[in-house]
Amino acid sequence: MAGEGRPSTVFSAGQKHVDGRDEHGHDDLYESFRCSRATEIRKPDSRGSEPGHDKIKTMTRLRTRLTELLGIEHPIIQGGMSWAAGPELALAVSQAGALGVIGAGPMYPDALRAAIRFVKERTNRPYAVNVPLYRNQADLILDIIFEEEVPILMAAQGGPQKYIERFKAGGRKCLHVVAAPSHAEKAAAAGVDGLIVVGSEAGGHPPPNEVGTLVLARRVVAAVPHLPVVASGGIADGAGIAAVLALGCDGAQLGTRFLMTQEAGVHAAYKERLLQAEVDDTALVGRGLGVIRMLKNSFAERYAAAEMAAAPKEEREKIFKSSSLKLAALEGNIDEGKVEVGQGIGLIDDLPPAGELVRRLVEECDTALARLGRLRG
């Protein structure tokens, strides 16, 4: 990838796009997640397997309501990031026991169908497709996901009424992305199976209310205690996963951390620039216009100057629309493109294979939970 300066996924070059206690009342944090060390011999999946799965491995499993609901080994979800979350990334994450996600946001229908088939022909493990419900042809995209028998739908930026009845009747699991307690309560009432709560630390499209993950996730857990809740935003390692489990969440979604893997399908220049970023190198751009969190660059500085000068909305909107994620993620223009990334980028300094990353996250989370358990003595 680095030598070619292009996205690593096989679908990138030819792909078409468009712009306390748990439920059981346990007191002990470590025991409440029913952590168990399982030594198993993994044989290669008949439809493909990661190298090394035929060896004996000792792996901690964190069993939560999320893992039971989705049939995954670890309470970790890879974010469905536009341009980055292609089929190679989703496959690698699912094969490692977490939930891999295909990001349908920028895909044409035929490209999405091909991506889904790429994954399901190579694994029998659960995977998901993420759909922003506001996008063009959203109904057609939902039809394809249903027809291809994708086991898990992840939907965002719209109400679940658009899909819930059909997908639930078809036996699919439905996760809905929310950014406020009121949205969570409405989605729960509509019948979704679980919620993904996105805090302001997240890259891409954080909540307009700018409430952080720590507060927002805890508030949603209290509002809908009967549903599995997944926290997202600012989580970049296993300690972060342990932290949201301690809040009462059933899992964590990581976007920026999986963006920085070998399989993520963005331009090499995008990743290389982000390896140099610190925790304070992002900014919220476009308040009132569809705010995004992105890397500070020439475009972000130009928009910030207009905002500071109290420029009319029309002028700010013109600047905002002059750039795009595609310009950065696909074309590699890091100065003028929208380099969407979360604050967690300051905790990241490498580009591992996604499967290796999942295993590392599980080990880190295990270590953090064990440390918390020792504090009780």
Question: Residues 295, 240: one domain?
Answer: no
Question: Residues 294, 200: one domain?
Answer: no
Provide Rg for the chain, Cα atoms. 20
What is the mean pLDDT of the segment spanning 47-61?
50
Residue 112 within a domain: yes
Which pLDDT band, with edges at 50, 70 and 90, does 58 fall under?
low
- Residue 60 pLDDT more than 90? no
- Residue 136 pLDDT more than 50? yes
Question: Residues 255, 207: one domain?
Answer: yes
Question: Residues 206, 307: one domain?
Answer: no
Strands (E), 286-325: 292-295
Task: Name the residue with tokens 């992105």.
Answer: 294
Which pLDDT band, with edges at 50, 70 and 90, does 59 fall under?
low
Question: Residues 260, 284: one domain?
Answer: no
> What local confidence, expressed as pLDDT, does residue 61 receive?
81
Which pLDDT band, with edges at 50, 70 and 90, does 365 fall under?
very high
User: Under a CB-based contact definition with an 8 Å cutoff, are residues 93 and 358 in contact?
Assistant: yes
Residue 209 within a domain: yes
Mean pLDDT over all residues of the chain? 88
Q: For position 200, which CATH number holds?
A: 3.20.20.70
Residue 48 within a domain: no
Strands (E), 17-145: 36-41, 56-61, 76-78, 100-103, 127-132
Residue 320 within a domain: yes
Q: List the structure tokens of 344.
A: 């967690």
Instruction: Report how many domains make up the chain.
Output: 2
Question: Residues 261, 273: one domain?
Answer: no
Question: Residues 122, 207: one domain?
Answer: yes
> What local confidence, expressed as pLDDT, does residue 22 receive?
36
Residue 194 within a domain: yes
Residue 20 within a domain: no
> What local confidence, expressed as pLDDT, does residue 28 receive?
38
> What local confidence, expressed as pLDDT, does residue 377 receive?
72
Question: Residues 276, 252: one domain?
Answer: no
- The two most distant CA atoms of the chain are separated, in Å, by 63
178 bridge partner residues: 197
Question: Residues 199, 151: one domain?
Answer: yes
Question: Residues 362, 287: one domain?
Answer: no
> What local confidence, expressed as pLDDT, does residue 376 receive?
85
Q: Provide the domain limits for residue 315.
A: 268-344
Question: Residues 186, 104: one domain?
Answer: yes
* Digit-coded pLDDT (tens) for 62-104: 899 999 999 999 999 999 999 999 999 999 999 999 999 999 9
Which pLDDT band, with edges at 50, 70 and 90, does 240 fall under?
very high
Percent residues over pLDDT 90 in the chain: 82
Phi-psi region of 227 (alpha: psi -120 to 50; beta: other; left: phi over 0): beta
User: Under a CB-based contact definition with an 8 Å cutoff, are residues 73 and 66 in contact?
Assistant: no
Residue 41 within a domain: no
* Digit-coded pLDDT (tens) for 15-49: 434 433 333 333 333 333 444 433 332 333 444 44
More confident residue, 1 or 368: 368
Residue 21 within a domain: no
> What local confidence, expressed as pLDDT, does residue 62 receive?
87
* Digit-coded pLDDT (tens) for 142-194: 999 999 999 999 999 999 999 999 999 999 999 999 999 999 999 999 999 99
Question: Residues 95, 191: one domain?
Answer: yes
- Residue 106 pLDDT more than 70? yes
**Using CA atoms, how far apart are residues 159 and 161, in angstroms rounded to an integer?**
5
What is the mean pLDDT of the segment spanning 290-300?
97
